[in-house]
């Protein structure tokens, strides 16, 4: 029986709870980009730390303005000034700059553009409301508040907020260790002459390394392993003893899978799935020792699609991310016919763009074979076609899932 994509994904994600969560480490804020917080981050201070001016203008008391719209200027406050000893007589205003502390008894700051300056003082031209142009203490971040939750991926805006709190370092989960290897007698490492007739380059291991480094994993690269039961077994033992997760490519389909399959069956508990998805039907998943195991299909497009759709969410969850919902998907019209056979969920590669009428539409990138790596090159989304659907005609609605940052 074929396993549906959802069943496979669910089984994979369920395995996360069987794994001990990662230990944490302290890193400097600059090195924390894309890392995942290992504890709640609590703010040590209020931001802003004091009421301050949002404008270059004049600090006023509303009571004074009720008496007269012309107020003499008593002094000036600049950003960084300490105003604890400020003397501000009734019936006057204060010049104040953006970011400068606002005195407690000021009701508002009036922007310079709404005033007129003369020898007598400042004339206020418009109605002034209490609180105008005052940025209140703690309005952005309150002291002692949880500012970033545990399990959050740190982005530039989030780190920027933490920088306003003066936080220099924080606890993140250690990087997930992932061991990779390719199986196949036909494989030659990139950069070397092909090893003979029938040889191909080991592109998958290269791609996997890029994907894993983008996901912030530590990669243990075990190279190319020949289709030989003893070597495969040895390599898998090494891999599982050194990593949290082992990802291999090739050797999980029916044809040449037997060596890997036999080795895996001896070493751990592995399920060899036939999934109702295209590309990427064969997929192996399970555990060797303390490490989880994902066996990707050998065809490069299948390997990339199954990595993106199944291994990526697993890695994010294992890395400690709390919310690993990563897809933005919606329906649009297809501008091209799409070939589809009933019975499998298709992840076709598409280009989402805006047509001459200003509407979003999606087109196929052309040939969708699991060996056509160029089907990915221009693509910016998956066209996800339901299992029971057949050929799709131009103009029909289809679901597209925008690529996330992993493929960019
Ligand atoms: P397999 O899953 O081992 O039966 O391989 C399926 C197809 O993918 C075959 O055409 C292999 O030559 C190819 N293939 C397997 N491993 C890799 C790899 N690491 N890089 C590129 N292609 C591969
Ligand atoms: Mg093979």
Residue by residue, pLDDT tens for the chain (408 residues) are 799 999 999 999 999 999 999 999 999 999 999 999 999 999 999 999 999 999 999 999 999 999 999 999 999 999 999 999 999 999 999 999 999 999 999 999 999 999 999 999 999 999 999 999 999 999 999 999 999 999 999 999 999 999 999 999 999 999 999 999 999 999 999 999 999 999 999 999 999 999 999 999 999 999 999 988 899 999 999 999 999 999 999 988 776 556 777 888 899 999 989 999 999 999 999 999 999 999 999 999 999 999 999 999 999 999 999 986 767 899 999 999 999 999 999 999 999 999 999 999 999 999 999 999 999 999 999 999 999 999 999 999 999 999 999 999
Instruction: Count Cβ neighbours within 10 Å for each residue of 367-393 and write b for 16 or more, e otherwise.
Output: ebebebeebbeebbbbbbbebebeebe
Which ligand minimizes its atom distance to the CA of 190? 1
Instruction: Using most ligand atoms within 8 A of CB, pick from 250, 272, 376 the residue to mutate for ligand 1.
Output: 250
Nearest protein CA to atom 14 of ligand 1, as residue: 298
361 CB-near residues (< 8 Å, 6+ apart): 332, 333, 334, 335, 352, 353, 354, 355
DSSP 238: H
Closest C-alpha among 90, 87, 100 to residue 58: 100
Q: 184 C-alpha to center of ligand 1: Å?
A: 7
256 CB less than 6 Å from ligand 1?
yes
272 touches 282 (CB < 8 A): yes
Tokens in use for 135?
A: 């940025």
Instruction: Using most ligand atoms within 8 A of CB, pick from 225, 249, 307 the residue to mutate for ligand 1.
Output: 249
Tokens in use for 82?
A: 């300490």
408 touches 314 (CB < 8 A): no
State the CB neighbour count (10 A cutoff) for residue 67. 11
Nearest protein CA to atom 10 of ligand 1, as residue: 299
Tokens in use for 207?
A: 């791609």
88 touches 75 (CB < 8 A): yes
226 CB less than 6 Å from ligand 1?
no
14 CB-near residues (< 8 Å, 6+ apart): none
What is the pTM for the complete model shown? 0.94
37 CB less than 6 Å from ligand 1?
no
Nearest-10 Cα torsion for 28, 153, 13, 25: 10
H helix or E strand, kind and range, residue 271: strand 268-274
Q: 272 C-alpha to center of ligand 2: Å?
A: 15
Q: What is the pLDDT of residue 257?
A: 54
Nearest-10 Cα torsion for 148, 326, 2, 400: 160
């Amino acid at each position: 029986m074929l396993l549906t994509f959802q069943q496979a994904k669910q089984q994979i994600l369920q395995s996360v709870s069987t794994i001990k969560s990662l230990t944490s480490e302290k890193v400097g804020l600059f090195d924390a980009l894309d890392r995942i917080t290992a504890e709640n981050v609590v703010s040590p201070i209020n931001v802003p730390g004091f009421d301050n001016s949002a404008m270059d203008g004049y600090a006023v008391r509303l009571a004074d303005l009720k008496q007269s719209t012309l107020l003499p200027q008593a002094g000036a406050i600049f950003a960084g000034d300490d105003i604890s000893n400020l003397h501000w007589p009734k019936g006057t205003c204060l010049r104040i700059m953006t970011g400068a502390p606002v005195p407690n008894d000021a009701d508002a700051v009036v922007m310079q553009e709404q005033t007129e300056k003369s020898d007598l003082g400042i004339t206020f031209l418009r109605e002034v409301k209490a609180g105008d142009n005052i940025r209140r203490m703690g309005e952005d971040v309150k002291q002692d508040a949880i500012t970033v939750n545990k399990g959050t991926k740190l982005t530039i805006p989030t780190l920027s907020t933490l920088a306003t709190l003066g936080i220099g370092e924080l606890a993140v989960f250690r990087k997930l260790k992932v061991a990779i290897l390719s199986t196949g007698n036909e494989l030659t490492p990139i950069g070397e002459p092909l090893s003979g007739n029938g040889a191909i380059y080991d592109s998958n291991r290269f791609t996997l390394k890029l994907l894993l480094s983008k996901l912030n994993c530590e990669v243990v690269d075990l190279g190319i392993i020949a289709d030989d039961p003893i070597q495969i077994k040895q390599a898998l033992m090494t891999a599982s003893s050194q990593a949290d997760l082992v990802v291999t490519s090739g050797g999980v389909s029916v044809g040449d899978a037997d060596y890997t399959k036999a080795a895996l069956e001896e070493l751990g508990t592995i399920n060899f799935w036939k999934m109702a998805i295209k590309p990427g039907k064969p997929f192996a998943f399970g555990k060797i020792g303390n490490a989880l195991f994902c066996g990707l299909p050998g065809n490069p497009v299948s390997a990339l699609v199954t990595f993106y759709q199944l291994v990526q969410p697993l890695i994010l969850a294992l890395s400690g991310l709390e919310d690993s919902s990563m897809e933005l998907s919606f329906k649009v019209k297809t501008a091209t016919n799409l070939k589809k056979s009933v019975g499998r969920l298709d992840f076709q590669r598409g280009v989402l763009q805006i047509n001459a009428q200003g509407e979003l539409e999606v087109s196929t990138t052309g040939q969708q074979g699991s060996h056509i790596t160029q089907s990915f090159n221009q693509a910016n989304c998956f066209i996800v076609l339901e299992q029971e659907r057949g050929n799709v005609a131009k103009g029909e609605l289809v679901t597209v899932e925008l690529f996330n940052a992993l493929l960019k």
